[in-house]
Amino acid sequence: MSARRPSAAERAGTSAAFGSARAPRSTRGQIIDSVVGTPPASVSPDLVAENPQNPREEYDEVYITSLGQNMREVGQIQPATVMTRLAFLVSHPEHKESIPSDREYVALDGHCRLRAARQAGIDLRITVDDSPAGTREDLLAAALSANHFRKDLTPIEEAKAIEALVEFHGSAAAVVSVLGGAINDSWISTRRALLNLPDEIQQKVADKKVPIAIARKAGSLPTPEEQTAYVDTEMAARAAAQAEKPKPVRGRAAAAAKRQAPPAAAEPVKEKPPAAAPAGTTTTPASSVPEPRGETLTAPDSEPPLDWTDPDSIAAAILERCSSAVVEGIAQKLLSSL
């Protein structure tokens, strides 16, 4: 009898925040919590951006200082209302350049408290309200359909978001329809396979220490032991191949090698042909002098030609020469053309 396939909730996992929740959560709620996260009660003010639509332009610095001292000594009575950065940009995409990427929230109310907490060096109590941007499923769909959101997600975060949307909408095909063609079935299948992997390998994928191509194949294997063994074998082979390749000389070492290299031989100067002698005169032929010959430079060994009939060779060449963003773009183009 074959082993039971883990449920979507088990593959997506739960967040640390969910473990401390007071009320039980539904399966879909657990998945969404693992992606979006249960809002914290307080955060560093350095994680909160000021609202670019805030009409207030001037602040009373004496009041801000006094408020910060009071908040540090007595405590913050009224939390500041904030939106997550993602939710704010879904509602106000025109402010994408105004909200720094290292800010996780945008203040809606409580800008004085935000400045006071920052000046006093204390955490800011917050209440997160993303309702103006729609439901959490709307936010997940926006995060996956817009490139300027997806570039901030790791492959594992994308996989968990996809799992949440599949659980909510019922099928991968329905998710493709909801996202308006921004992704396809093959992309969804690749990301969902990552959730079959052990946590340790998932973390390596998130940290870009294991390529998605290797992780996807490992995710199709039946047991964690086989998955781990496959990843270890492939990464070892990859490391061995990299070690055999000569390392290019750059920087100061390259400049030093250039200084130590013998000077290149000068090109021979071609002599002009002698002028024609006047009629009736005789000329004595000049002795033939051989032209100097420079050193013959041996061309460096070139790499062997790429075998375009070998998928592994092609994949290795692309992974070696291209960034992860370019590799993913190539994969999307190939999958969409099939």
pLDDT classification of 115: cutoffs 50, 70, 90: very high
**Buried b / exposed e along 282-312 (16+ C-beta atoms within 10 A):** eeeeeeeeeeeeeeeeeeeeeeeeeeeeeee
pLDDT digits (tens, 9 = 90+) for 17-45: 333 333 443 333 333 444 445 678 899 99
pLDDT classification of 80: cutoffs 50, 70, 90: very high
| CA proximity to 151, closest of 238, 66, 86 | 86
284 pLDDT more than 80 = no
Burial class (CB in 10 A: 0-12, 13-18, 19+), 317: middle
Give the pLDDT of residue 18: 30
Give the pLDDT of residue 275: 58
pLDDT digits (tens, 9 = 90+) for 304-330: 677 777 777 787 778 778 887 787 788
- Rounded average pLDDT over 207-232: 92
Top-confidence range, 80-84, 116-120, 266-270, 295-299? 116-120
Rounded Cα gap, residues 238 and 161, in angstroms: 30
pLDDT classification of 287: cutoffs 50, 70, 90: very low
pLDDT digits (tens, 9 = 90+) for 122-132: 999 999 887 77
- Rounded average pLDDT over 175-186: 76
> Do 81 and 102 touch, CB atoms closer than 8 A?
no
Amino acid at 79: P
Give the pLDDT of residue 65: 93
Q: DSSP letter at 297?
A: P
Give the pLDDT of residue 50: 92
271 pLDDT more than 70 = no
Give the pLDDT of residue 281: 52
Rounded Cα gap, residues 58 and 123, in angstroms: 23
Rounded Cα gap, residues 64 and 33, in angstroms: 35
Rounded Cα gap, residues 150 and 143, in angstroms: 6
Give the pLDDT of residue 224: 93
Q: Which of 168-182, 202-216, 252-266 has the lowest mean pLDDT?
A: 252-266
Give the pLDDT of residue 163: 84
Strand pairing category for 48-49 and 105-109: parallel
pLDDT digits (tens, 9 = 90+) for 159-170: 888 888 888 778
Q: DSSP letter at 209?
A: S
pLDDT classification of 333: cutoffs 50, 70, 90: confident
77 pLDDT more than 80 = yes
Give the pLDDT of residue 336: 67
